């Protein structure tokens, strides 16, 4: 019976607590509003000042970002093998390699790899090395860095490797991006920088260096195919010469004295010679295909519409940044005055 009366009482108390809590919240909100209202002049003036500073900084100090981009198109070969490689594989020649060095994934990885960036940043160009242009601001503003860079880069291997690694990491985090579109089969390379010529030269040389490197690897594979076919052709020529010599010996003998065993051997030699001639013709064809591919090397990708000046320019909006600065500053000031008031109440209690 007591439990029966206790439940309604608990519900009544709960409703009272809810009403008190809601009332407390409303009063607290009114109290906070009165505090903010008293400080409205400070909040508005400070917010306008910070917003104006943000807008002016964006307008006159922040540099625009330039973007240079490439679209790379791929023509996948069957199984990643060239014609000579497929012939070599069908003939059982080993040591040539069956992996596809020109696959899209390997090109995408190599474009922004440390090796590629290290070569591109340190090569001598008409406008100077890219590494010097990349650190031009640091050289002008930091005397210590300037002295170390001039005296150690290219001379101290440890310092050179460390700076190249830092540059590689910074470029991949802030300046470089690769995106593959599976629908069109294209790989997009984007290079962004505040220096227009730096973005232009960096994108061009990354693609050119990648193209050269993959042609070099393809040349090495094609050369190995030519060597393998040439060795096989030479060995077949030796075998054919030996078979012809033995067959000639049997032909020179007196036919009346040739035994049945000798006839069988001669027949066997004739069959082997025909087989050698067929194999020799196939390997000669493979050798010629390998030589043609070695002469007519092509990169694993094609591209159209190289970047041209002026590059795409991305400028931050001074008005938008000013509004962001104003709103964020106002919000933080409101929190500051309310927090200071509540802290004072807690201390006084």
| CATH number of the domain that residue 274 is part of | 3.30.1890
Task: Work out the burial of residue 232: count CB atoms within 10 Å of its CB; fewer than 13 is exposed, 13-18 middle, 19 or more buried.
Answer: buried
- CA 88 – CA 82 distance, rounded (Å): 10
Give the range of the structural domain holding residue 122, as residue numbers without chain letter.
65-314
Is residue 152, in this structure, part of any structural domain at all? Answer: yes
Is residue 19, in this structure, part of any structural domain at all? Answer: no
The per-residue pLDDT string of the chain (349 residues; one tens digit each, 9 = 90 and over) reads 455 545 555 555 555 454 557 778 888 888 888 888 998 999 899 999 998 998 888 888 888 899 999 999 886 554 444 555 555 555 555 444 444 434 788 899 999 999 999 999 999 998 899 999 999 999 999 999 999 999 999 999 999 999 999 999 999 999 999 998 888 888 999 999 999 999 999 999 999 999 999 988 888 887 877 777 788 878 877 777 777 777 776 665 545 445 555 666 777 777 777 777 777 777 777 777 777 776 767 788 888 878 988 888 888 888 898 899 999 999 999 999 888 888 888 887 6
- CA 226 – CA 223 distance, rounded (Å): 5
Is residue 86, in this structure, part of any structural domain at all? Answer: yes
Please tell me whether residues 329 and 310 are part of one structural domain: no
Please tell me whether residues 120 and 74 are part of one structural domain: yes
Residue 129, number of CB atoms within 10 A of its CB? 15
Contact 75, 302 (CB under 8 A): yes
Pairing of strands 65-74, 186-193: antiparallel
Is residue 141, in this structure, part of any structural domain at all? Answer: yes
Please report, for residues 53, 104, 105, 129, the alpha-carbon distance to residue 203 in angstroms, rounded to integers and kept in the order given.
35, 18, 18, 14
Please tell me whether residues 310 and 323 are part of one structural domain: no
- CA 24 – CA 123 distance, rounded (Å): 71
Please report, for residues 136, 204, 209, the alpha-carbon distance to residue 164 in angstroms, rounded to integers and kept in the order given.
15, 19, 17
Q: Distance between terminal CA atoms of the chain?
A: 44
3-class DSSP assignment, residue 80: helix
Please tell me whether residues 82 and 178 are part of one structural domain: yes
Please tell me whether residues 212 and 284 are part of one structural domain: yes
3-class DSSP assignment, residue 236: helix
- CA 322 – CA 96 distance, rounded (Å): 63
Please tell me whether residues 35 and 81 are part of one structural domain: no
Please tell me whether residues 135 and 207 are part of one structural domain: yes
**Domains contained in the chain, number:** 2
Count how many residues are written for the chain: 349
Contact 87, 138 (CB under 8 A): no
Is residue 13, in this structure, part of any structural domain at all? Answer: no
- CA 342 – CA 28 distance, rounded (Å): 10
Residue 342, number of CB atoms within 10 A of its CB? 14
182-112-161 Cα angle (round to 5): 160
Predicted structure pTM score: 0.68
Is residue 1, in this structure, part of any structural domain at all? Answer: no
3-class DSSP assignment, residue 66: strand
Contact 243, 146 (CB under 8 A): no
Please tell me whether residues 286 and 333 are part of one structural domain: no
Please tell me whether residues 48 and 139 are part of one structural domain: no
Please tell me whether residues 184 and 51 are part of one structural domain: no
3-class DSSP assignment, residue 260: helix
Angle between helices 114-122 and 157-170 (to 10 degrees): 110
Please tell me whether residues 158 and 287 are part of one structural domain: yes
Please tell me whether residues 182 and 323 are part of one structural domain: no
Is residue 4, in this structure, part of any structural domain at all? Answer: no
- CA 332 – CA 149 distance, rounded (Å): 43
Structure confidence at residue 252 (pLDDT): 58
Contact 210, 198 (CB under 8 A): no
Is residue 3, in this structure, part of any structural domain at all? Answer: no
């Amino acid at each position: 019976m007591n439990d029966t009366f206790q439940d309604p009482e608990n519900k009544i108390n709960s409703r009272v607590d809810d009403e008190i809590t809601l009332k407390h919240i409303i009063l607290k909100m009114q109290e906070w509003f009165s505090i903010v209202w008293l400080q409205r002049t400070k909040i508005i003036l400070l917010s306008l000042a910070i917003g104006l500073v943000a807008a002016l900084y964006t307008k006159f100090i922040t540099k625009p970002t330039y973007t240079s981009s490439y679209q790379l198109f791929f023509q996948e070969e069957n199984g990643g093998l060239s014609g000579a490689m497929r012939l070599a594989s069908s003939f059982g020649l080993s040591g040539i390699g069956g992996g596809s060095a020109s696959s899209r994934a390997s090109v995408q990885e190599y474009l922004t790899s440390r090796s590629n960036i290290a070569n591109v940043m340190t090569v001598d160009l008409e406008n100077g090395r890219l590494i010097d242009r990349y650190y031009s601001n640091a050289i002008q503003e930091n005397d210590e860095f300037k002295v170390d860079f001039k005296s150690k880069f290219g001379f101290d291997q440890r310092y050179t490797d460390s700076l190249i690694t830092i540059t590689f990491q910074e470029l991949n985090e802030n300046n470089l991006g690769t995106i593959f579109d599976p629908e069109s089969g294209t790989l997009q390379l984007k290079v962004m920088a505040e220096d227009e010529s730096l973005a232009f030269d960096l994108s061009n040389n990354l693609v050119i260096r990648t193209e050269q490197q993959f042609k070099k690897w393809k040349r090495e594979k094609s050369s190995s195919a030519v060597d393998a076919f040439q060795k096989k052709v030479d060995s077949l020529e030796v075998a054919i010469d030996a078979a012809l010599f033995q067959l000639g010996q049997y032909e020179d003998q007196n036919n009346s004295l040739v035994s049945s065993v000798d006839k069988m051997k001669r027949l066997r030699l004739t069959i082997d010679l025909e087989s050698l001639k067929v194999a020799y013709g196939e390997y000669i064809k493979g050798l010629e295909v390998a030589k043609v591919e070695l002469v007519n090397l092509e990169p694993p990708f094609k591209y159209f519409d190289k970047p041209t000046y002026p590059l795409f320019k991305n400028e931050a909006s001074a008005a938008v940044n000013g509004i962001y600065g104003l709103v964020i500053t106002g919000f933080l000031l409101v929190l500051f005055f309310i927090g200071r008031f509540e802290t004072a109440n807690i201390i006084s209690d």
